[in-house]
Chains A and B, each alone.
Chain A
Amino acid sequence: MPSGFAIRKNQYYDSVFLMSVNARILKVEGIQQTAVLMGSPANKKLLLDIGIQDPDIEAAQPNDLIVAVIADSMGIINQVLGNLDVWLNAIQEEAPVSQLHTLEDGLTIKSNANLAMISIPGEYAAREARKALEAGLNVFIFSDNVSIEGELELKHLAKQRGLLVMGPDCGTSLINGMGLGFANAIRRGDIGAIGAAGTGLQEFTAQVHNHGFGISHAIGTGSHDLSDQIGGLTTLAVLDALEEDANTKVITIISKPPGAATLEHLLEKIGSCRKPVVGCFLGVDPDILSGRNNLKPARTIDEAARLAIKMSGNPIPLEVCLSPDDLKLLFDEKAGWSPEQKYLRGILAGGTFCYQSQQILRDAGITVYSNNPLEPKNKLKSPDKSIQHTFIDMGDEFYMVGKPHPMIDGTMRRQRIITESHDPQMAILYLDFILGYNASMDPVGELVDAIDKAKSVCKQRGGSLTVVASICGTGDDPQDLTFQMKMLQDSGVLVYDSNAKATAACCWLLGKE
């Protein structure tokens, strides 16, 4: 297939800008694949992986912009690359420009800063984080692709200096009611949280808010913190801080499976805490967690929210299973399936949601394949090809090469929904929608046409596609929660207010309650 590229020397752009350019190019008819990135060694390797190579690309530097396009014809490629400057200028005009270019520049203006947020390419992030720690700042590192050795060094440095490192790969935190990164608008309260799983922490805080309660602080640790290499250095530091925090009555920890040694150490530490601790360690054998001193184990994030509310001295919210009305709707949906429709496909934006859904489905006796499976034997050979019941984490690195995360832009999920609709055996499509600061302002609007089209394709085959959705959000989020929900309902989607509940509906549809 024809391909082409353009290089702009000494034009550096951040990843959101690059993704905006990428998204615009992808909308041009006839474009098959694009890569809009800076000329770092890692990015040049990615271009090689998709078959784009040239001596000029090899010679490009990290400050050089590279735009590569694969399309149906050379005419389309020439049209895109010929108009590149117009697009770059248009997008640049939408974003204000800062005259500050280094951390030191920032500190000359804000000498009283107590936190540095770092969201730059991973290969440079540790260097900037180290400088921030040495300047006495706590650090929130959104960047991924920092080496484990680099992370360990930063966290040891932070420990020596009495500072906090959230991340690397930290998507969210709430400090004193202020949302950092991808966070929901959550009222203040007395429930503290620690999360090594970004969307898990968002779901927990949104659940607490939606039950009418609030959060003191919810601190993200980064996805690697509870690995045995890092040993939970940030988690342990936050546990100490929340123990001392006068506004926190109960502490909840949300994570995917920690390393075995780290989990044991953490459980010992929890045992010595004065405040009660709720632990939602997704994927961990419940037997390991039962009977532990001072730990209330929760199997799901929903249960963790209810337990935390109870432990903070409030009446426990009722466990709302599927209501009789829900069951009637599900029954009616299932009645429309054709005989060959039998499989569930989850196309998810939230990595933790993909994980939790698989745990719930496994517990119900349903085997699920995934690009990020609970067990290696259920790993898809190709993430692009679903088999039987499949859950795809669309935020996985595989899909992120020069592309925006599905929480920011629905393009990749839209394409996948259409692909799945051509499989006559698909009966249920499950989608998650995540609201909050920095997420797409219209996540449902981005997918609703694809949902309608998938339903229509299925109907033409004589079947009926059941679409199940969960929304992680609050009424105070910048998006309009009620309108987002209504758009789904108007398209005949069954909408639930949590990932666990939506997955329970999928279990019921598959005959496993």
Chain B
Amino acid sequence: MVDVETKIDKLLTEPLVIVNVGLSKFAKSLEEQGVDVIQVDWMPPAGGDKEMMDLLDELL
């Protein structure tokens, strides 16, 4: 329980460092606010084939 409080507390007290997966405009607006953010232009792995994605997850 102490661990739970500590980890979420940290999010509220320490500077945000964000990995933005998807819409690049979200990363842009965070940058404009001075947030440390990196943009990931995500695309579906394995061509979006769900079965293949599950297989990849098991292998990795």
Q: Which residues of A contact B (CB under 8 A)?
A: 10, 12, 14-16, 38, 40, 61-63, 95-103, 105-107, 109-110, 112-121, 124, 127-128, 132, 137-138, 142-143, 159, 161-164, 175-176, 178-181, 217, 237-238, 240-241, 244-245, 437-438, 478
Contact = CB atoms under 8 A, between A and B. Distances in A.
Given A105-B40, A119-B26, A176-B16, 19 more contacts: A40-B48, A62-B44, A98-B24, A100-B41, A114-B14, A114-B17, A117-B21, A128-B21, A138-B8, A163-B7, A176-B12, A179-B33, A180-B26, A180-B30, A181-B26, A217-B12, A240-B4, A241-B11, A437-B32
Contacts of B39: 96, 98, 100
B40 A101 contact: yes
A438 B25 CA distance: 7
9 contacts: A16-B23, A98-B38, A101-B43, A113-B19, A117-B19, A128-B42, A137-B19, A176-B13, A180-B26
A110 B48 contact: no
Given A62-B48, A164-B8, A178-B33, A115 B17 contact: yes
Contacts of B3: 162
Contacts of A101: 40-43
B56 to A, nearest CB: 10
Interface in B15-60: 15-27, 29-30, 32-36, 38-45, 47-49, 53, 57
A137 B44 CA distance: 21
Contacts of A100: 38-41
A118 B22 contact: yes
A98 B41 contact: yes
A240 B23 contact: no
B12 A245 contact: yes
Contacts of B11: 114-115, 138, 164, 175, 241
Nearest to A246: B13
Contacts of B23: 14-16, 119, 142
A342 to B, nearest CB: 42
A107 B17 CA distance: 11
B12 A241 contact: yes
Given A98-B40, A101-B41, A162-B3, A120 B8 contact: no
A97 B40 contact: no
Contacts of A103: 19, 21, 40, 42
A175 B24 contact: no
Nearest to B18: A115
A436 B33 CA distance: 12
A241 B49 CA distance: 39
Contacts, number: 170
Interface of B: 3-27, 29-30, 32-36, 38-45, 47-49, 53, 57
Given A115-B11, A119-B26, A110 B17 contact: yes
Contacts of A98: 24, 38-41
Given A61-B47, A115-B18, A96 B8 contact: no
A241 B7 CA distance: 9
Nearest to B8: A241
Nearest to A107: B19
B7 to A, nearest CB: 4
A97 B13 CA distance: 31
B22 A117 contact: yes
A1 to B, nearest CB: 31
A101 B42 CA distance: 5
A159 B12 contact: no
Given A98-B40, A138-B11, A176-B12, A112 B17 contact: yes
Contacts of A110: 17-19, 36, 38
Contact of A12 (B20, B35, B44): B44
A138 B49 CA distance: 27
B42 A120 contact: yes
Nearest to A181: B26
Contacts of B5: 162, 240-241, 244
A102 B25 contact: no
Contacts of A106: 19-21, 38, 40
Contacts of B38: 98, 100, 106, 109-110, 113
Nearest to A240: B5
A163 B8 contact: yes
B17 to A, nearest CB: 5
Contacts of B22: 14, 117-120, 142-143
A124 B6 contact: no
Nearest to B44: A62
A111 B30 CA distance: 18
A17 B40 CA distance: 15
Contacts of A245: 9, 12-13
B32 to A, nearest CB: 8
A244 B9 contact: yes
B26 A116 contact: no
